[in-house]
Structure 1
Amino acid sequence: MTSFAQDARSAEERLRTLFPPTPLQRNDHLSERYGADIWLKREDLAPVRSYKLRGAFNAMRKVLERDPAQQLFVAASAGNHAQGMAYVCRHFGVRGVIFMPVTTPEQKIMKTRTFGGAQVEIRLTGDYVDDTLAEAKAWCAEQGAHFLAPFDDPDVIEGQASVAVELLAQAGAQGMGQPDLVVMPVGGGGLSAGMTGYFRAAAPGIACRYVEPEGGASLAAALAEGAPVTLNKVDTFVDGAAVARIGGHTFDMLKGVDPAHLIAAPENRICGTILEMLNVEGIVLEPAGALSVDVLPGLADEIRGKRVVCVTSGGNFDFERLPEVKERSMRYTGKKKYVILRLPQRPGALRDFLEMLGPEDDIARFEYLKKSARNFGSVLLGIETARAENFGALFDRLEAHGFVYTDITADELIGEFVL
């Protein structure tokens, strides 16, 4: 019986029929910023701009080796797993049926169709992923198809482990030596479980750090309980890693992780990392793909002088989301706030307020919320500024001149209705 490390190396070797290794690149910008030797394992440069292709290929390959007559595969996904499966369906010449929520953006549907070509059929069903998954599994059972899981499958985990196999081989070939630390994202756990399993066997001296989105910390919850649990609420912004329940197979390989090595990344902070990598480095990362880079500031003391690899797991970023990303980043850094201003209904009141603004302050939104009051009107204001500390001075001026306001920037309930 072969070991997990041997199987991972075999999976990596077989993958070469599909695409060459993704680059392992030193990043001068991050290295200089943190006083470390920082490299990026660029899974965002895979053919489908995500590592998901690896697990889908390995799982489908093994099914076909066991049962060549199995020519129908099913998946439920609105993201990278769908694109990876479509790509390998075309490669193997088998039929794939991919169920997607009705709410899936057209861009993702189009890309999945492009990768799969005539081999893939897309079915839009359900408003939520859970509904889509139930429909897909029911149809799969009726048709006698094989359901290709996105992460909770030993063959998928083994395929994702090929990232670690490549990483070590490239590190040796490029003369950088073995990394001191590898930072990787965690969603359902396929990538992190595969890489961890391989490092434990082939390079136990490498330290690992695991990053989850703050609003989808399913591994943290599982470690606390000693078993996978379902989160009551998930922030879906980091859609490539926002999973309500980590997989059972993946948790079996991750349950030995030290909770101190698990880091939660705030969604709004991730937005700033996406913008920095895009504007400074020209690297397009989706929210999940930015997780490993996002936590570097918190690791600054630990990584100084060390060799670090960050796995940038995906680059399927829809640029229509760019305004939202900028908005969330500015709110996180304190450079944008929303306030409801109680404005006196008298001539010159608006001018008086505008004179309170500083030279670096700018009104990004101005909207009357209530127009029936005789003496005062409620105004929703979105204010942007160059430096977060400018708001303290602005609010002091408003209060000194008798203006009444309420800062609603962090109020989620009000924000759902008016922002």
Structure 2
Amino acid sequence: MTDFPTQARAAEAAMRDVFPPTPLQRNVHLSERFEADIYLKREDLSPVRSYKIRGAYNAMRKQADQELFVCASAGNHAQGVAFMCKHMGKRGVIFMPVTTPQQKIQKTRMFGGENVEIHLIGDYFDDTLAAAQDWCGREGGHFLSPFDDDDVIEGQSSIAVEIEEQLGRVPDHVILPVGGGGMSAGVTRWFGDRLHCLYAEPDGGACLRAALKAGKPVALDHVDTFVDGAAVGRIGAKPYEILKDVPLPDVLSISEDRVCATIIEMLNVEGIVLEPAGALAIEALGDVRSWIRGKSVVCLTSGGNFDFERLPEVKERAQRYSGVKKYLLLRLPQRPGALKEFLSILGPEDDIARFEYLKKSARNFGSVLIGIETKRPENFADLFGRLDDAGLAYTDITNDETLAQFLI
């Protein structure tokens, strides 16, 4: 039986029939910020703007006699399968969640053309996966898992082969985003104990952490689909077998709002477009600052399939996380001049982003929903002090998720 390193090298060599190695770039901005040598492995620059093309191609080339491939995907695996179906002249049937961003659906159609058909089924990936497997069981074809497949894991390991060749050595750390675990398992298996692997997953899809705590893959009670490329409710069984000995402190849970801040920063500072899952590894740098100082670190920018219709939401969440935007319920006197007096309390860097009376009546006071943006988080402490001095009653609801769902 061929050993894994030989298989991984063969997979990496096979990729060259489809696309060149993705760049490994030292990022000056991040390196200076974290006092380390930070490199970005730019999987967002693959032909389908994610690493998923690697696993799809490797698995499909090993099933060369198969004419029909079936898959379930939150978007990126679908694009990889669609691209390879057209490239290899195969037929693909692709199942995607109804909640998949339109950009990913349209790109899947574009990459696959007449070679693929798309079915939108299920609100969550696990529902979509069950539907795809059921269809494949009835209609035939080769089911191509996005992560729970030895050939897919082997294909994703080609990333690690490229990193070592491009850097000319093994880095001290590599930070990997985790969804179903296929890529992180492949990279981990290639490097073994030659470096320190760290794993970043979204708070709303922390399936690796849950599996490590339980000692086996377990289904999450709820999955937040915002980081759609990593919103998986149960880690794959095959990836888990490779990752089951990962120390729990090496698994970093990143809030969805933090991911938004990184997306905006990388777009504004570096001109790099990342989808939420693609930004996980970079945002995780802040959690391991003391570990990586003076070291070489590779962050995998796993995908750049970002739907710009989501940008207002991403900006909103980033502002709330960074503390420069807050929402207040303000109890405002209903008399002439009251609004003008309130406006005079605002500081020179404070702007009103939203102003809405929640209840209009003949009472002496009315409730107002007000959104305020400022340039520096510390400005809010000054503003709240002035509101207190003026005797105005207010409630900060910025982080009240229940109220935010209905009001913001």
Q: What band does the TM-score fall into relative to the shorter chain? A: over 0.9
Alignment pair present for 1:115 and 2:111: yes
In structure 1, the residue matched to 2:298 is 309
In structure 2, the residue matched to 1:332 is 321
In structure 2, the residue matched to 1:47 is 47
The two structures have a TM-score, normalised by structure 1, of 0.94
In structure 2, the residue matched to 1:81 is 77
In structure 1, the residue matched to 2:58 is 58
Q: What one-letter code is carried by the residue in structure 1 that aligns with 2:95?
A: F
CA contact (8 A) 2:42 2:300 kept: yes
Deviation (angstroms), 1:212 = 1.0
In structure 1, the residue matched to 2:167 is 171
- Measured in 1, the distance between the counterparts of 2:101 and 2:196 equals 38
In structure 1, the residue matched to 2:178 is 186
Alignment pair present for 1:29 and 2:21: no
Structure 2 CA distance for partners of 1:13 and 1:106, relative to 1, 3 Å: same
Deviation (angstroms), 1:217 = 1.1
* 1:404 paired residue among 382, 393, 399: 393
* 2:68 paired residue among 72, 86, 94: 72
- Measured in 1, the distance between the counterparts of 2:278 and 2:144 equals 22
In structure 1, the residue matched to 2:357 is 368
* 2:157 paired residue among 141, 156, 161: 161
In structure 2, the residue matched to 1:99 is 95
Structure 2 CA distance for partners of 1:105 and 1:266, relative to 1, 3 Å: closer
Kindly tell me the number of residue pairs found equivalent between the two proteins: 408
The two structures have a TM-score, normalised by structure 2, of 0.97
Structure 2 CA distance for partners of 1:311 and 1:328, relative to 1, 3 Å: same
What secondary structure does 1:250 align onto?
helix
CA contact (8 A) 2:103 2:306 kept: no
Deviation (angstroms), 1:205 = 2.3
RMSD: 1.3
CA contact (8 A) 2:324 2:373 kept: yes
Q: What one-letter code is carried by the residue in structure 1 that aligns with 2:384?
A: F
Task: Tell me the percent identity.
Answer: 66
In structure 1, the residue matched to 2:265 is 276
Task: Please identify runs of 4+ aligned residues in structure 1 that moved more than 6 A.
Answer: none
Alignment pair present for 1:219 and 2:208: yes
CA contact (8 A) 2:201 2:253 kept: yes
**Any residues of structure 2 matched to 1:196-345 within 5 Å, and which?**
196-200=188-192, 204-345=193-334
Deviation (angstroms), 1:91 = 1.6
Moved more, 124-133 or 270-279: 124-133
Deviation (angstroms), 1:298 = 2.6
Structure 2 CA distance for partners of 1:297 and 1:36, relative to 1, 3 Å: same
- Measured in 1, the distance between the counterparts of 2:23 and 2:243 equals 26
Structure 2 CA distance for partners of 1:39 and 1:102, relative to 1, 3 Å: closer
- Measured in 2, the distance between the counterparts of 1:326 and 1:114 equals 28
* 1:124 paired residue among 120, 123, 141: 120
Deviation (angstroms), 1:63 = 2.1
Structure 2 CA distance for partners of 1:280 and 1:227, relative to 1, 3 Å: same
